[in-house]
Chains A and B, each alone.
Chain A
Amino acid sequence: MSNYIDKDTSNDGIDRRGFLKCMAWAGAGMVWAMKGGILTARAFGQDAPTAAGDDFTFVQVSDSHIGFNKGVYTDVVGTFQSAVSRINALPAPPSLVLHTGDLTHLSKPKEFDTVAEVMKSIKTQRSFFVPGEHDYFVDNGNRYLERFGKGTIGTGYQSFDYKGVHFIGLVNVANISNGNTALGVLGNEQLEWMEKDVASLGSSTPIVVFAHVPLWTIYEQWGWGTQDAAQALRYLKRFGSVSVLNGHIHQILQKVEGNITFHTARSTAFPQPAPGTAPSPGPMKNIAAEKLRSYLGLTRVDYVEHTGMLATTDSTLADDVPATQP
């Protein structure tokens, strides 16, 4: 059963005010704190927890689209760097950073180099990546995999453990259906790998899945979903805490289904319209340049383990710009 905490996305009649309030225009990212298997998310600039024991923080950035330069979105490197500045201004540096895809706009070597450079400036132990379709469609992911595919399998998927939490990075943009579905596809090879990957884990192991295209169908007409996600989610049914983090749709949407909480992140480059509110999912055109940064949005998400619910609080990034922000 669907349970939208944030917005009723099945209803196209989202009012503009509410819509703006729940959207982030650029330079946003999420800070995730893992406390004893309970995942909580907060906005940049909000009080970050001091890591103690096995608790830790990680950050999700997404859809940096380096190389895009249209309309008011003329400085996607700058807005990406803004997100990084916010990460680096956190009182406690995040242990990990996850980039959930569309690093680049057109997979050009220079675009990938810029992404690598900006990511390198983040104060963190290690960064992990999954590709978006913009990192894959030009050359079947070759340039992406050369640079960011180290330690990954097949099309670029991977798993790792950090302080008792099992992270799984999935790839659903490898174009393996040859246009026979509008949705993202994981494919049998990756699904079989995933089934084995989680087979030996205890059911109390907290799981974090990250992938570019949402693993729940948000809006099929725009391809916002993954055709064979249900199979992947079946492997995760027995786990007590599963968090699925996606990008692709350049706006925050959340859903809770049983033990699984779904969350999509904002883009650091440009916003996209809410499902069905525009003729196409292209970059939003009605955003005034001078307002861009004032619409930097954020959402604080508290994951309450015993109810399996994500509770969100929306506010604008302008309220929370750290004093150290250049």
Chain B
Amino acid sequence: MKSATQVSTVCLAVFTILTVHISASKAITYPEAPGARRDSDPATQPTTQAAATVKIENFAFLPKELDIAVGTTVTWQNADDVPHTATSKDDPQVFDSGPLDTDDKFSFTFNKPGRYAYYCKVHPHMQGVVVVK
């Protein structure tokens, strides 16, 4: 059995790798992030960037849960060879991408805090959520 220290070390290592990976993909995926660059006061800066991407791949939304700050524009991009949608489950509906065929994109800006659950109308087993703080 591993000691608590060993487990912590492993967890820390995994966490570090994940953090590095997320930072790296952010740098690649959202290079334009305009708001973050203009605002010089760190206190008023949102903790996440003003643009984020959800990749649709292998019949899944990646990431399945996306945390963003108010005002962030989320872009869904379909990397599968069949059509999908990103459709809000709220009533009234907050957003609906309509059909996204291969490589199609859809963007929506979230201006109110909340938890926005959504799904794919073609394949309702595909579920995702955007958490806006």
Residues of A within 8 A of B (CB): 68, 70-71, 105-107, 133-134, 137-138, 175, 177-183, 220-223, 279-283
Contacts and interface: CB of A to CB of B under 8 A. Distances in A.
A138 B99 contact: yes
Contact of B89 (A137, A178, A283): A178
Interface of B: 58-60, 80-83, 85, 87, 89, 91, 98-99, 101-102, 117-125, 127
Contacts of B89: 178-180
Given A71-B81, A223-B124, 11 more contacts: A137-B85, A137-B122, A138-B98, A177-B124, A178-B89, A178-B91, A179-B120, A179-B124, A179-B127, A182-B124, A279-B58
23 contacts: A106-B83, A107-B99, A133-B122, A137-B99, A138-B99, A175-B121, A175-B124, A179-B89, A179-B118, A179-B120, A179-B121, A179-B127, A221-B125, A222-B59, A223-B123, A223-B125, A281-B59, A281-B123, A282-B59, A282-B80, A282-B81, A282-B82, A283-B82
A128 B80 CA distance: 31
A185 B127 CA distance: 17
Nearest to A133: B122
B81 A179 contact: no
Contacts of A222: 59, 123, 125
Contacts of A177: 124
A201 to B, nearest CB: 33
Contacts of A280: 58-60, 80
B99 A179 contact: no
Contacts of A68: 82
Contacts, number: 63
Contacts of B117: 179
Contacts of B124: 175, 177, 179, 181-183, 223
Contacts of A180: 89
A181 B127 CA distance: 10
B61 to A, nearest CB: 12
A199 B82 CA distance: 41
Contacts of B123: 133, 222-223, 281
Most interface-central of A105, A134, A179, A279 (chain B CB within 10 A): A179
A70 B81 contact: yes
A131 to B, nearest CB: 13
Contacts of A183: 124
Nearest to B121: A137
A181 B118 CA distance: 12
Contact of B101 (A106, A137, A281): A106
Given A179-B121, A223-B125, A283 B81 contact: yes
A287 to B, nearest CB: 13
Which 3 A-B residue pairs are closest in the complex by CB-CB distance?
Answer: A179-B119, A182-B125, A280-B59
Contacts of B81: 70-71, 282-283
A282 B125 contact: no
Nearest to A184: B124
A163 B82 CA distance: 40
Contacts of B59: 222, 280-282
Contacts of B119: 179
